[in-house]
């Protein structure tokens, strides 16, 4: 089921360019919008919002009033604004249009997971600060990855987005919260036990030609998605979505070596949206195209 922004009327004057609606994302929602100059007013929202100016205006200003404070920042490309939950009424004045702004919405459940897994005194969701004009390489990179997935779906896109949502919640908690949720007594993840790991790895191998989500794998391990991702990464050395990508690539190499299926069919079985995207991914991983790899084995 898609997670959608709880306040769909927050930006009534903007133009929606694309969104995550219909993609089955369960831990994060996203919108790409074009904002005209002018005033925006909004009420309290339940989700933590991250806004990234993909294409901004170097000579423009964003004047925000919320959370009992006012700030003025440039609307240049790459600028980032954070909107925590329950900030009350917010007013935003744009002195120049922002042609492309990416809006990421993180539901409170992501921060609640952090609290449960790390023994925080309470959820960090209410501790995220109201900040604007940030320059954060990690947030920007994750945002661009999510934007790319909205534009062109990939075989493991849903897993990538779900993992990115957890990473964003942890990053905001670590870098942009007031720390009031903390208490002593947090431990490091150890890893998945052999029984759960075998169950998960067998499921992945048996369903390489089907959609696989972090949530489904976490259910197999009887863990929350956040806890599962931490333990799986500690055990295997890579996050779940990267492991699944690697296994699909290995399976594709086996099918190429077998030589009976056309390249387009192998791309389809590997859950790529097109043969062209399969070719690009295969070349990044191996240094050659699928066709070159098949010819090499003959």
Residue 80 in contact with residue 54, Cβ under 8 Å? no
Q: Is the pLDDT of residue 86 over 70?
A: yes
What are the backbone dihedrals phi and psi of residue 10, each rounded to the nearest 5 degrees, phi first?
A: -65, -35
Report the C-alpha gap between 294 and 289 in whole angstroms. Answer: 9
The Cα–Cα gap between 100 and 97 comes to 9
Residue predicted with more confidence, 54 or 279: 54
Residue among 69, 62, 113, 108 at smallest CA distance from 88: 69
Residue 269, pLDDT > 80, answer yes
Q: Same domain for 133 and 48?
A: yes
Q: How confident is the model at residue 7 (pLDDT cuts 50, 70, 90)?
A: very low
pLDDT at 51 (0 to 100): 97
Tokens standing for 271?
């859950």
Angstrom distance (rounded) from CA 197 to CA 193 = 6
Residues 30 and 124 reside in one and the same domain = yes
How many Cα atoms within 13 Å fall on the side-chain side of residue 24?
A: 12
Same domain, 165 and 224: no
Domain residues for the domain of 83 are 15-175
Largest Cα separation within the chain, whole Å, is: 70
Whether 5 is covered by a domain: the verdict is no
Residue 18, phi then psi, degrees to nearest 5: -165, 165
Instruction: Give this prediction's pTM.
Output: 0.66
Signed CA dihedral, 113, 118, 119, 124: sign only: negative
| Residue 243 is assigned to a structural domain of this protein | yes
Co-location of 115 and 31 in the same domain: yes
Answer positive or negative: Cα dihedral of 137, 278, 238, 222.
positive
Tell me the C-alpha distance between 247 and 242, whole Å: 9
Same domain, 68 and 215: no
Based on the structure, what is the number of domains in the chain? 2
Residues 169 and 226 in one domain: no
For residue range 199-217, list pLDDT tens digits in order. 999 999 999 999 899 889 9
**Residue 154 binned pLDDT confidence (cut-offs 50, 70, 90):** confident
Establish if 10 belongs to a structural domain: no
Q: Both 42 and 142 in a single domain? A: yes
Question: Residue 178's pLDDT band (boundaries 50, 70, 90)?
Answer: confident
For the segment 134-149, the average pLDDT, to the nearest whole number, is 93
Contact 139, 202 (CB under 8 A): no
Same domain membership, residue 19 and residue 165: yes
pLDDT at residue 2 greater than cutoff 80: no
Q: 234: which 2 tokens?
A: 């500690």
- pLDDT category at 106 given cuts 50, 70, 90 is very high
Distance CA 3, CA 21 (A): 8
């Amino acid at each position: 089921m898609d997670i959608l922004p709880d306040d769909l009327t927050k930006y009534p004057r903007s133009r929606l360019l694309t969104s995550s609606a219909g993609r089955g994302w369960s831990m994060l929602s996203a919108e790409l919008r074009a904002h005209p100059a002018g005033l925006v007013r909004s009420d309290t929202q339940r989700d933590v919002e991250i806004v990234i100016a993909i294409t901004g205006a170097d000579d423009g200003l964003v004047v925000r009033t919320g959370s009992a404070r006012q700030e003025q920042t440039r609307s240049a490309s790459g600028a980032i604004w954070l909107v925590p939950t329950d900030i009350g009424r917010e007013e935003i004045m744009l002195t120049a249009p922002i042609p492309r702004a990416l809006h990421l919405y993180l539901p409170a459940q992501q921060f609640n997971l952090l609290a449960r897994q790390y023994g925080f005194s309470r959820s960090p969701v209410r501790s995220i600060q109201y900040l604007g004009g940030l320059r954060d390489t990690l947030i920007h990179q994750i945002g661009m990855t999510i934007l790319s997935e909205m534009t062109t779906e990939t075989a493991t896109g849903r897993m990538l987005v779900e993992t990115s949502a957890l990473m964003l919640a942890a990053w905001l908690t670590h870098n942009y919260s007031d720390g009031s949720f903390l208490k002593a007594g947090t431990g490091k993840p150890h890893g998945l036990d052999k029984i759960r790991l075998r169950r998960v790895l067998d499921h992945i191998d048996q369903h390489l030609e089907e959609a696989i989500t972090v949530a489904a794998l976490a259910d197999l391990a009887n863990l929350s998605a956040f806890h599962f991702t931490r333990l799986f990464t500690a055990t295997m050395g890579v996050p779940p979505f990267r492991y699944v990508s690697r296994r699909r690539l290995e399976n594709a190499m086996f099918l190429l070596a077998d030589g009976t299926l056309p390249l387009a069919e192998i791309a389809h079985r590997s859950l790529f949206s097109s043969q062209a995207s399969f070719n690009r991914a295969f070349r990044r991983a191996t240094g050659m195209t699928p066709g070159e790899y098949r010819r090499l084995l003959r």
